[in-house]
Amino acid sequence: MTDLRTSEVESLLDVLSALDDKDTLFALMEDLFTIREIKESSQRLAVARLLDQGRSYSQIAEATGASATTIARVSKCLGYGSGGYRAALDVLAELEEQ
């Protein structure tokens, strides 16, 4: 993955980490990504949340509309990935506590 972390990616990370207004961040997402990409990314996060809650693949598929392949991919990332989903789930948990 080090090949992926180019100066362009670093610039994107700088921008994303600096934006603290949801509307501005959403506007950037609309400009950067297709509607489908935004929906699929959001779906994957929902899948990660349900996997973390111990839900079955069939329950997750029914709740999110995600395919078994997508659920398996997210599950693999949760267990063996870079920790991005875990960090996102921790943020969501903190927001729910507020």
- pLDDT tens by residue, 40-62: 999 999 999 999 999 999 999 99
Q: In whole angstroms, what is the distance from residue 47 CA to residue 95 CA?
A: 18
DSSP H helical ranges for 33-83: 35-52, 57-64, 68-80
Torsion of CA 98, 77, 72, 96, to 10 degrees: 0
Predicted structure pTM score: 0.91
Cβ-based burial of 4 (10 A; exposed 0-12, middle 13-18, buried ≥19): exposed
- What is the rounded CA–CA span in Å between residue 33 and residue 46? 18
Taking 50 as the pLDDT cut, the residues of the chain under it are none
Residue span(s) of the chain under CATH 1.10.1270.10 come to 40-97
Q: Which CATH number fits domain 40-97: 3.40.640.10, 3.40.50.880, 1.10.1270.10, 3.40.50.300?
A: 1.10.1270.10
Element at 32 (helix H, strand E): helix 22-32
Give pLDDT, residue 2.
72
